[in-house]
Chain A
Amino acid sequence: MRMSELTRADVAHLAGLARIELSDDELDKMVGELGIILESVATVQNAPIDDVAPMSHPMPLVNVTRPDEVRPSLSPEAALSGAPEQDQQRFSVPRILDED
């Protein structure tokens, strides 16, 4: 069980991936709190699961599809109605930093 070995760098990396800005204090705090959460969750690893297939879907269904037929879309006005900013009938978003 390695989850309790969560490091400060791990948390900083995850925060970066999740685009969450954490201060140094918050990072320190999260290392401890996330470590406890992971340890708690890790108890499920003690369950006897040798004969149990992993389950990603609770319903025993496969091949649920729809025919390739066009259905009405939202109007552009409706689609954009929840956007904090819009311009030229497009969603306006902050520039993407340091990536191209």
Chain B
Amino acid sequence: MSQATAEATLPFEEALAAYDPVLGLEVHVELGTNTKMFCGCATAFGAEPNSQVCPVCLGLPGALPVVNEKGVESAIRIGLALNCEIASWCRFARKNYFYPDMPKNFQTSQYDEPIAFNGHLDVELADGSTYRVEIERAHMEEDTGKSLHVGGSTGRIHGATHSLVDYNRAGIPLIEIVTKPMTGAGERAPEIAKAYVATLRDLLKALGVSDVKMEQGSMRCDVNLSLMPKDSTTFGIRSETKNVNSLRSVERAVRYEIGRHAAILSSGGKVTQETRHWHEDTGITTAGREKSDAEDYRYFPEPDLVPVAPSAETVEALRATLPEPPAARRKRLQSAWGYSDLEMRDVVNAALVDLIDETVTAGASPAGARKWWSGEIARRANDAGSDVPTYAASLAVTPAHVVELESLVTGGRLNDAMARQVWDGVLAGEGTPTAVADARGLELVQDTGALQAAVDKVIAANPDVAQKVRDGKVQAAGALIGQVMKEMKGQADAAAARQLILDSLTN
């Protein structure tokens, strides 16, 4: 049983008054390829145990790996999107260690010849400023198997009597993206860490190379942190907190480690170089194993795989496939759509950018697209524990439905209240907006005779209000419009009712 006891920490402000944090982030991304990195086994998530394995990924004698072409292409595209240089020639390397999650007793990785290196990613912070995160390298490797620890009370290794291993995940392509040490971040270190991971996630999603689901482990983050005294430029001893797997946790883990290191250093102690475990529930880290030196992994060039040597033409062809960077795209769309900063932030946070883009492209107004995708459907999606795009797809509700609904309003068939009823019907699976309006008999009364009769009736019943309007208080007409709409059971065009009231009282 691991003891998740909190160590002493110094308050954040106090820690930063005395020390400068040095931050490094290692992000592992599982590529969304159909097959594993070195064999043709499928990569489906959630398949039954050991059903996606073969002699290569089980490390059986005599099996020979062959590189997945798409894996290399994805790695190069990621490198280019991170403004990296791409190696013209590089090799895989064996990282040797004995642990049952890799049946080969080594992980095929890259060592001193990463496919991509020396890049950067600009990260936008809440105050509108930009911090440039320098990228050390992005290299190709493979994921490990999954272990179930049996016999312990918590599923952790401590107290377990044995472990059960499923190798479906072993060999799935991973790209490890490593930043250079970030200095000068100061109190913004936790925010920068979170913003970097969020920006990287959006970028990888836009590249289409991974589903980047942190909660399913297809994107995982390790946080390296050390402190140095304010007047020093010599890095301190770092800790490496593994598997910090949500954006919020990245921010919290950085804060926690800053406080923990500061408490050790300010009391004259020495930070141990080790891996740390992040505890999501309590927000603390606990000691893991002491960090092995790189030489303990006895890296050497993988003899079973020939070098990867992408030509300049190949690299340029892949560069041409890069999407518009997400931050630039958001700026462009916000300007085109005329959204306020707050409206755009809400739309981004609700993952609606693509859906609204499609809807506007299909012919809807930006305001209408935002309105229909963020009202009732957002509430229902939230109740279903989903986001709007996923939920809409599950209902087969499309941008074309929004365009059609809006045209029913602008064409004068529906008023806004009726349009809301029609949208409810569409979300309930009753068909297209026109079909729902037909089936529910929703249509503005176009018969001006009936509307005029209602207007006359309401004016007669409210002589005081009518007089105010005659005397020039036009805003008093609002009370009359409401009553006319009631008379018409909501099936009138409020603008037409207003015009008729004014015409009746001013002529």
Assembly CA distance A65 to B307 (angstroms): 10
Q: Judge if B68 is at the interface, Cβ distance under 8 Å.
A: yes
- Residues in B neighbouring A82, C-beta threshold 8 A: 60
8 Å CB contact of B164 from A19, A56, A92: A92
- Residues in B neighbouring A75, C-beta threshold 8 A: 51
Q: Mark B57-95, 1 if CB is under 8 A from A, else 0.
A: 010100000111111100000000000000001010000
Assembly CA distance A87 to B166 (angstroms): 11
Q: Judge if A2 is at the interface, Cβ distance under 8 Å.
A: no
Q: Secondary structure of the A side of the interface?
A: loop
Assembly CA distance A15 to B60 (angstroms): 23
8 Å CB contact of B277 from A17, A57, A93, A100: A100
Assembly CA distance A92 to B308 (angstroms): 36
Task: Check B50–A96 contact: CB distance below 8 A.
Answer: no
Task: Check A76–B50 contact: CB distance below 8 A.
Answer: yes
- Residues in A neighbouring B165, C-beta threshold 8 A: 90-93
Q: Mark B127-162, 1 if CB is under 8 A from A, else 0.
A: 000000000000000000000111100001110111
Q: Judge if B33 is at the interface, Cβ distance under 8 Å.
A: yes
Q: Judge if A79 is at the interface, Cβ distance under 8 Å.
A: yes
- Residues in B neighbouring A87, C-beta threshold 8 A: 150, 164
Assembly CA distance A76 to B41 (angstroms): 13
Which of B33, B40, B308 has the most A CB atoms < 10 Å from its CB? Answer: B40
Q: Judge if B9 is at the interface, Cβ distance under 8 Å.
A: no
Contact A68 to B34, CB < 8 A, known contacts A87-B164, A94-B162: yes
Q: Secondary structure of the B side of the interface?
A: loop
Q: Judge if B163 is at the interface, Cβ distance under 8 Å.
A: yes
- Residues in B neighbouring A96, C-beta threshold 8 A: 99-100, 157, 160, 163
Q: Among residues 37 to 64 in chain B, which have CB atoms less than 8 Å away from a CB atom of chain A?
A: 39-42, 48-55, 58, 60
Task: Check A59–B306 contact: CB distance below 8 A.
Answer: yes
25 A-B residue pairings within 8 Å (CB atoms): A17-B296, A56-B303, A57-B301, A57-B307, A63-B308, A65-B66, A66-B67, A68-B35, A71-B35, A72-B40, A73-B52, A76-B50, A79-B167, A82-B60, A88-B49, A89-B50, A90-B49, A91-B50, A91-B100, A91-B165, A95-B151, A95-B157, A99-B289, A100-B157, A100-B158
B: which residues have CB within 8 A of A?
2, 33-35, 39-42, 48-55, 58, 60, 66-72, 89, 91, 96-100, 103, 148-151, 156-158, 160-167, 277, 288-289, 296, 298, 301, 303, 305-310
